[in-house]
A = this chain, B = another copy of it.
């Protein structure tokens, strides 16, 4: 469960990286500064596209670290270019894929304390369902939505990693 969640987060972040390629191609085709898109948002008091990517990466990274009882690596939010955001995603995916299933054996019963709420905790399984999953998909979907709202030609298949469908006839 925890292991599959982290693998799925990694696969979803790789789709986000592909979305950035589409954003880059769109900016070249339409001849505008890609920074306009990286700084775009759906409302003036919302995080920009770039910040959504950083937060989604951190959601996934901290989930893996907290499930395993480890300290997450630090990734300062300094990215400015598509190449830098893609590197941030790549480093995050490498970190997520460094875990083995055994690393999460105790995940469900760990007490998870979030940095901004130092006197409160969630059990690991509560953190998974009530925090990590809704947060991660919120920021990835919002990144996707900012691109969609700005005219990049994408659909849900660009957001969702392909599920491992198998033919019914084969068994």
Interface residues of A, Cβ cutoff 8 Å to B: 1, 4-5, 7-8, 11-12, 42-43, 46, 111, 113, 117, 119-122, 125-127, 129-131, 133-135, 137-138, 141-142, 145, 148-149, 151, 156, 159-161, 163-169
Within the oligomer, what is the number of copies of this chain?
2
Inter-chain pairs besides A1-B1, A5-B129, A127-B163, 10 sampled, C-beta below 8 Å: A4-B125, A42-B42, A113-B168, A119-B168, A120-B168, A122-B164, A133-B137, A138-B156, A141-B145, A142-B145
Interface SS of chain A: helix
A97 shortest CB reach to chain B, Å? 15
What are the residues of chain B within 8 A of A149 when measuring CB–CB? 42-43, 149
- A–B pairs, 12, beta carbons within 8 Å: A8-B134, A42-B42, A113-B168, A120-B166, A120-B167, A121-B165, A133-B133, A134-B159, A137-B137, A138-B141, A142-B145, A149-B149
